[in-house]
Amino acid sequence: MEKLEVLGTLPLFEPLSSAERERLADGCRMRTFARGTALFREGERADGMHVVLRGVVKVVRFAPDGRETVLHLVRKGNTIGEAAMFQRGTFPASAVAVDDVETLYVSAEALFALVTENPELALRMLAALSLRLRMFAHKLAVQGQGGAAGRLATYLLHRRQIGGADVIRLGVSREVLANLLGLARETLSRQLSRFVEAGLVELKGKDIAIRDAAALRDIASEGADR
């Protein structure tokens, strides 16, 4: 029943009838991952996808010396691993739980059977993949925009646009966020402090409240023009 409830809340699976949703639920299972645990690793066969129900997952690539590069962050209600699954290939990167994570794991076999019968579901999956591509392109753009101020301002404005609110829940440590923006942790902390001192943002625990979006847009634009 819990699996059916989860599937019923996901826009991705809206085209499914009740019977189809029940069939898909039979090919799903709930999974939990402790902080630091890998949901999957680069090079593993992609036999399914995850829907994040709780926590945050970072998608990373590891260098030979062990250093990691955060490609993007996956939060509650979003999917991970679907691109590799549809290619019937291997995962191009690793997915690691930032904190305690719960997911709904959807097997490729169960999903492919429904996609074959329901073209509308395939279109929705394509739309989800396109959104993920735009998010990744945004991440690359942020890393290329000038200094720390421009990158941080661009990121905050992007999260504000997605969430539709001035209060942003980071959900990750500053170390992870710095890696995502291509900055050193100390650099990120200094820049965030400068934004606070200038009255652009306010820190509320793990939340960041945007107080002057216009000023942040000016900073982001300056970074893009460099």
pLDDT digits (tens, 9 = 90+) for 134-145: 655 555 555 555
d(CA 34, CA 97): 7
β pairing state of 38-40 and 48-54: unpaired
Are 123 and 33 members of one domain? yes
Place of tokens 């720390």: 148
Q: Return d(Cα 139, Cα 44) in angstroms, integer.
A: 24
User: Which of residues 135, 164, 192 is at a domain's end?
Assistant: 135
Q: Which of 118, 135, 152 is the last residue of a domain?
A: 135
45 and 95 share one domain: yes
Same domain, 108 and 163: no
Do 158 and 86 lie in one domain? The reply is no
Hey, how many other C-beta atoms are within 10 angstroms of the C-beta on 103?
27
Tally of domains in the chain: 2
pLDDT at 100 over 60: yes
Q: Are residues 118 and 51 in the same domain?
A: yes
pTM of the model: 0.64
One domain for residues 131 and 154 = no
Residue reference for tokens 């290939």: 89
Domain span holding position 75: 2-135
Q: Are residues 150 and 86 in the same domain?
A: no
Mean pLDDT of all residues in 66-75: 83
What's the DSSP call for residue 45? B
100: CATH? 2.60.120.10
Residue 74 bridge partners (DSSP):
57
Q: What is the pLDDT of residues 152-209, one digit of tens each?
A: 888 888 788 766 788 888 777 788 888 778 788 899 999 999 999 999 999 988 789 9
* Alpha helices in the chain, H assignment, sequence order: 2-9, 18-26, 82-86, 108-117, 119-143, 148-163, 174-181, 185-197, 213-225
Report pLDDT for 226.
Answer: 46
Which of 13-17, 123-127, 187-191 comes out lowest in average pLDDT?
Answer: 123-127
Answer yes or no: do 38 and 69 share one domain.
yes
Spell out the long-range contacts of 131-134 with Cβ–Cβ below 8 A and sequence spacing 24 or more: 132/72, 132/83
Whether residues 122 and 98 fall in one domain: yes
Same domain, 37 and 113: yes
Residues 130 and 38 in one domain: yes
Mean pLDDT of all residues in the chain? 83
Coil, strand or helix at 42: coil
- The CATH number of residue 208's host domain is 1.10.10.10
Question: Do 131 and 214 fall within a single domain?
Answer: no
